[in-house]
Structure 1
């Protein structure tokens, strides 16, 4: 139930405390796009209004990496709702985490079937709830991102000004063995682990064990796994995701076969795989001051 229209801004913020916390996590901690993230929040709130209980609260209880993946799934759902992109997506359930979260069938076909009512509902929530409840956080994120972009640009300009000027058409001379010049074609730089990592998710109610994941990919694609990290959960709970670090980045390209996401069946249980895309804090600026949220 929405708060009365005559409540103060402070009371409105207090009413939407958990929504503000989740939006802050998306745009401040995970550096996601502020405008797109407002649509994501509106989608989750709309799901609550049509009968899916405690969606926001459940997402807040998850690890950051899982929240980021759920936001990616929400963007896919928004694309189906707003742009009729279902035909261009792979068949089957492309929202495994969201389905596991709410314990109900929630495929992309659901959003395609209810496009009109979803569009109207999400638009109304954005206009009546999100803009008022989240506007200060969005402005904070936009200003922080703009400052970061300016810092990045200045860094690039400063770096380019420090490079030696070479007149076009003339040979480069004076670069002897002792000169401080990087020759990238002679360097052997190791590919960072994050660039060799694949993120896999499992359906709730169909637990997949580490040995099953390792055995499946080893049998199908060879012994190229460097490490495998299952989500740490209590003994009576199942892992919903895992990160697989391969020895080479090309292994992921082979497994995904050019697709952004691939679906596998391991011992009768569905597994979805995609390349791991970490959301890192930008190092050029000091940590952003916290956004004051009412308790």
Structure 2
């Protein structure tokens, strides 16, 4: 969320500093794929803005021909600004741009996105984890204290070269009686874990008969 806000703030900065007129209103009318590409290239600009040594490390051995780097790294930024912004321009005006971005983030973006940030934080705290067999997460072994109701998430133990196929969720004792409300058996939802997305559902034993009363395992797959 913070990274997205910084991207929007930087685009506002370009518009405010006359690098690109009506940039925001123009972008929102374009396809999502184009907007995503602009956002990714904006992250390159932000890296250059935030990290003082980024520019010198980027152009080692470039023989002062920075145009090739501009066209390969930020071609859409060059396009939407009509060539008025380049990596070299960002580097030369780093302090003023950084000061301007800070003001926009504090005075415009933070108040505008305060509600969204709060909702995103609540969403991440309340979501429950389960791993689909076809959507197993590499290197995710154990997550503790995931939200207010979860005691821990324990991944399946596997060999070093294998991926876990399911996870076991342990609720805090006071929430065990609410298992059915917290994790619905047939629901499939998209969850976010440490920035990674997974599709999740609750594990149900396959040998259940239609006449038997459903027993819901507390293991997740």
**Aligned pair 1:81/2:59, yes or no?**
no
* Match of residue 109 from structure 1: 88
Higher RCO (CA-CA < 8 Å; seq separation 6+): 1
- Partner deviation per Cα, 1:176-223 (whole Å, 9 max, x = no partner): xxxxxxx98xxxxxxxxxxxxxxxxxxxxxxxxxxxxxxxxxxxxxxx
Distance 1:284 1:77 in 2: 36
1:95 to 64, 74, 77: 74
Match of 2:183 in 1: none
Match of residue 160, structure 1, among 156, 167, 183: 156
SS of the residue 2:199 aligns to: coil
Deviation at 1:97, TM superposition (A): 1.0
Q: Distance in 2 between matches of 1:145 and 1:59?
A: 29
CA drift at 1:98 = 1.4
What is the CA deviation profile of residues 91-124 of structure 1, one whole-angstrom value per residue up to 9, with x for unaligned ones? 4302101122232332111111111111110000
**Cα distance, 1:159–1:82 mapped onto 2, change above 3 Å:** closer
After TM superposition, give the deviation of residue 145 of structure 1 in Å.
Answer: 4.0
Q: In structure 1, the residue corresponding to 2:2 is in which secondary structure?
A: helix
Number of residue-to-residue matches in the alignment? 138
TM-score, scaled to structure 2: 0.53
Instruction: Choose from 101, 107, 113 the match for 1:128.
Output: 107
| Cα distance, 1:139 vs structure 2 | 2.2
Name the CA distance, whole Å, in 2 between partners of 1:131 and 1:79. Answer: 20
SS at match of 1:61: coil
Any gaps of 5 or more consecutive residues in structure 2?
60-65, 142-152, 163-195, 202-221
The structure-2 alpha-carbon separation of the partners of 1:68 and 1:142, relative to structure 1 and needing over 3 Å to count, comes to farther
- What SS class does the counterpart of residue 47 from structure 1 fall into? helix
1:136-285 alignment runs, 5 A limit: 136-147=115-126, 150-151=128-129, 157=153, 160=156, 282-284=198-200
Question: 2: distance between equivalents of 1:105 and 1:284?
Answer: 46
